[in-house]
A and B are shown apart, each in its own frame.
Chain A
Amino acid sequence: MGAALEIRNLHVSVEDQPILRGVNLTVQQGEVHALMGPNGSGKSTLANTIMGHPAYAITAGQLIFDGEDLLELETDERARLGLFMAFQYPVAIPGVTVANFLRNAINARMKSQDPESKGIGIPAFRKLMLDKMDLLQMDKSFGGRYLNDGFSGGEKKRAEILQMAVMEPQIAIMDETDSGLDIDALRVVSEGVNTLSGPELGVLVITHYQRILNYIKPQYVHIMLDGQIAESGGPELAVHLEEHGYDWLREKQNGNGK
């Protein structure tokens, strides 16, 4: 069995406001999960917490990746273990080309695995990047542009997917929480996930968009409400959600609570 991301009874606060209230979820390498839920339910918080954003304070629970306690690790250490997050709004790094950035990222990982490593050579890196661009049917000129600087929404998504392809993570979290995100962007992400998913990659797609099944085929669907996973199931759960919305779940949750 491959690596797994295990989220156990996770409680997270932002500025002393509890947002996640006991989340349990396991994503195995090779699986595709969709996490859905209304705005403000805590989906983005979960993504950022997994990656170790300093603004999110874990008050209880555990995060385990490939047997390692993530709470002991910095963001970059988590990434070097094989965890990846595709950002909802990737930030621009002016003056740093996509290629230069990716090569540095690969080298950082190689050097953490083997302190003696000299990193990836330029020809080998070039081939790797161009191969991945081919796979994703991307324009080759992309590598020479400054990272996310002046990129359109769709281009930013493409850049995220390219990074995921090059970094070859074991588990990737796609934070696509914003309902305002245009459908093209979601399509880019979904196509990327479809192209890259396989036995080596586990994916957690976080989305607000209920018709996600038009784009990807998750084996598992989870619904988050008020900082907890309220329901888990197969793709049929997304179909149900598309037809009935979230109200039935709220009622069910309240009913359970009383």
Chain B
Amino acid sequence: MSDAEHLEGIREQYDEQYGFRDPDSYVFRARKGLDAEIVGQISEMKQEPEWMRAQRLKALEIYQSKPVPTWGPDLSGLRESDIYFFVKPADQEARSWDDVPEDIKRTFDRLGIPEAEQKFLAGAGAQYDSEMVYHQVKKELEAQGVIFKSIEHGLREHEDLFREHFGKVVPATDNKYAALNAAVWSGGSFIYVPPGVQIEMPLQAYFRLNTASIGQFERTMIIVDEGAYLHYVEGCTAPTYSTDSLHSGVIEIVVKQGARSRYTTIQNWSDNVYNLVTQRAMVYGDASHEWVDANLGSKVTMKYPSVYLMEPGAHGEILSIAFAGRNQVQDAGGKAVHIAPNTTSQIISKSICKNGGRSSYRGLLKVYPKAENVKSTVVCDALLLDEISESDTYPYIEIENPFVTVGHEATVSKVGDDQVFYLQSRGLSEDEANAMVVNGFLEPLTKELPMEYSIEMNRLIQLQMEGSIG
């Protein structure tokens, strides 16, 4: 089979499982491009308070004043004049799947979301283009004071809590795309877990793009109060189009004293999506936060989940998985910022490239002057499946305190012909053999996931691996 046919195979598989599209059915779509009028329109349609509208417009100015970053992947193909910044899918958000518009519901059925919700989730949300169309959390959790809503409902119904935290973890000035999100944010989750409440099963949100040339700018705010526990999972897919789309989310998380949280992303965008996301968690005394960040799809991903360790005893972990196939650039990694003494962090990055894909580990370890007795390890391993793929490592380390323990390891390996031959000699096809080596490479990370997600991950890897060798 030729390379082209293999590629065709991948496309067909993605198309069948995730890349299908519905006919456009939005209730409102702003014109293409971005200016103050569009920002005002978004704010108006969401019936926001004046302060929010003002913040949006301010953020637009910041966005416009910042240059497109040139230190990473090439973003010159991204043109804001070609993009719809706001596409409203439905009049209102449903709390029962029966109330979700029929064709949208069919999409999520096909993606298996309602089924997953019943089986192993504590709650689920679903976003379609610019807004959430569904949000629901188990009654017993609601009774314990857990809030799991769309970000718009968060603002409307919990304005004080919202305002206290909005833009405090990731300010609009942080980077160009954080500013963009602050200007045009729409959709995303608002989560509050009261002190001591342990949510055993994950909460999940699923993000779906349908319209071509769309921008999706979800904003998620999570507050895990003292001693509480939360695992939040997001998944994302989109139809395959010939035109590019933009996904630029901002995730702000506050993990208070003694609390634990974990945020898992399984990003599987189609390969026409620019994925430029800012995710940050502020972790307080003796609390911990973990990012499990798997980037399998997209055209370009720039994503460096970060942990800010604010008080003694705080711990942060970042597990990053990137898979770059043909025409894909995965610029991923993580940042650990030690502000307080006696804090610990770990960054483990595993990247895989094939068919000329490029992956980079880009990471920052920063230790402030007063942060004594910090321990941090960074491990980044790359696996190349062929000669034409590339992997780079950019580990930035800024340490301003002498009393720290830092470990850093990086490896690059190739799937060996002898490994493939060995596995083939047991009856596995060449593709299966490659997939097995890759799954093994990722195993230290996938075993950290709940079973349902590690199965999903393995399946996605398999999909990515189909026809990996021409």
In the complex, whether A245 has a CB less than 8 A from a CB of chain B is: no
In the complex, whether B197 has a CB less than 8 A from a CB of chain A is: no
Report the stretch among A92-100, A190-198, A246-254 that lies at the interface. Answer: A92-100
A74 CA / B436 CA spacing, docked (Å)? 18
Known: A76-B427, A85-B425, A167-B426. A95 touches B432 (CB 8 A): no
A91 CA / B441 CA spacing, docked (Å)? 14
Asked if residues B439 and A96 are in contact (CB atoms below 8 Å), the reply is yes
Asked if residues B426 and A163 are in contact (CB atoms below 8 Å), the reply is yes
In the complex, whether B422 has a CB less than 8 A from a CB of chain A is: yes
Asked if residues A96 and B440 are in contact (CB atoms below 8 Å), the reply is yes
User: Main secondary structure on chain B at its contact with chain A?
Assistant: helix
A63 CA / B430 CA spacing, docked (Å)? 22
Closest CB in chain A relative to B434 CB, distance in Å: 11
Interface of chain B residues 355 through 376 with chain A (CB within 8 A): none
Known: A87-B422, A91-B422, A101-B436. A96 touches B427 (CB 8 A): no
Contact with A along B431-456 (1 / 0, CB 8 A): 01100110111111000000000000
> Looking at the complex, which one of A93, A163, A167 makes contact with B436 (CB distance below 8 Å)?
A93
Closest CB in chain B relative to A62 CB, distance in Å: 20
Asked if residues A104 and B432 are in contact (CB atoms below 8 Å), the reply is yes
In the complex, whether B98 has a CB less than 8 A from a CB of chain A is: no
Question: Which B residues lie within 8 Å of A146 (CB)?
Answer: 440
Q: Which of B426, B427, B436 has the most chain A CB atoms closer than 10 A to its own CB?
A: B427
Contact with B along A101-121 (1 / 0, CB 8 A): 100110011001000000000
Known: A85-B425, A108-B428. A54 touches B417 (CB 8 A): yes
Question: Which B residues lie within 8 Å of A91 (CB)?
Answer: 416, 418-419, 422
In the complex, whether B198 has a CB less than 8 A from a CB of chain A is: no
A75 CA / B424 CA spacing, docked (Å)? 6
Q: How large is the interface on B (under 10, 10 to 19, 20 to 34, 35 or more residues)?
A: 20 to 34
Asked if residues A93 and B423 are in contact (CB atoms below 8 Å), the reply is yes
In the complex, whether A132 has a CB less than 8 A from a CB of chain B is: no
In the complex, whether A51 has a CB less than 8 A from a CB of chain B is: yes
In the complex, whether A217 has a CB less than 8 A from a CB of chain B is: no
> Looking at the complex, which one of B417, B418, B425, B436 makes contact with A96 (CB distance below 8 Å)?
B436
Contact with A along B56-98 (1 / 0, CB 8 A): 0000000000000000000000000000000000000000000
The list of the 8 closest CB pairs from A to B, nearest first, reads A95-B440, A95-B443, A96-B440, A79-B427, A75-B424, A105-B426, A76-B424, A108-B427
In the complex, whether B429 has a CB less than 8 A from a CB of chain A is: yes
Asked if residues B437 and A79 are in contact (CB atoms below 8 Å), the reply is no
17 A-B pairs, CB-CB below 8 angstroms? A54-B417, A54-B421, A74-B424, A75-B421, A76-B425, A76-B426, A79-B425, A84-B425, A84-B426, A87-B425, A91-B416, A94-B440, A95-B442, A96-B436, A96-B437, A105-B428, A108-B428
Question: Which A residues lie within 8 Å of B429 (CB)?
Answer: 74, 76, 108
Known: A93-B423, A108-B429. 11 other contacts (CB 8 A): A75-B424, A75-B425, A76-B432, A78-B425, A79-B424, A96-B443, A101-B423, A104-B432, A105-B426, A112-B427, A167-B427
Residues of A within 8 A of B (CB): 51-54, 74-76, 78-80, 84-85, 87, 90-91, 93-96, 101, 104-105, 108-109, 112, 146, 163, 167
Known: A74-B430, A76-B430. A95 touches B425 (CB 8 A): no
Closest A residue by C-beta to B429: A76
> Looking at the complex, which one of A51, A80, A95, A112 makes contact with B444 (CB distance below 8 Å)?
A95
Closest A residue by C-beta to B433: A76
A79 CA / B430 CA spacing, docked (Å)? 13
Interface of chain B residues 388 through 417 with chain A (CB within 8 A): 416-417
Closest CB in chain A relative to B429 CB, distance in Å: 5
A105 CA / B428 CA spacing, docked (Å)? 6
Asked if residues A108 and B432 are in contact (CB atoms below 8 Å), the reply is yes
Question: Which A residues lie within 8 Å of B430 (CB)?
Answer: 74, 76
Closest B residue by C-beta to A167: B426
A163 CA / B427 CA spacing, docked (Å)? 12
A95 CA / B418 CA spacing, docked (Å)? 17
Closest CB in chain A relative to B428 CB, distance in Å: 5
A74 CA / B421 CA spacing, docked (Å)? 10
Closest A residue by C-beta to B422: A91
Question: Which B residues lie within 8 Å of A163 (CB)?
Answer: 426
Closest CB in chain B relative to A97 CB, distance in Å: 9
A3 CA / B426 CA spacing, docked (Å)? 18
Known: A54-B421, A108-B432. A95 touches B439 (CB 8 A): yes
Closest B residue by C-beta to A163: B426
A50 CA / B423 CA spacing, docked (Å)? 15
Question: Which A residues lie within 8 Å of B443 (CB)?
Answer: 94-96
A168 CA / B117 CA spacing, docked (Å)? 42
Question: Which A residues lie within 8 Å of B433 (CB)?
Answer: 76
Closest A residue by C-beta to B419: A91
Question: Which B residues lie within 8 Å of A78 (CB)?
Answer: 425
Asked if residues A105 and B437 are in contact (CB atoms below 8 Å), the reply is no
A96 CA / B458 CA spacing, docked (Å)? 12
Closest B residue by C-beta to A146: B440
Closest B residue by C-beta to A82: B427
A247 CA / B221 CA spacing, docked (Å)? 82
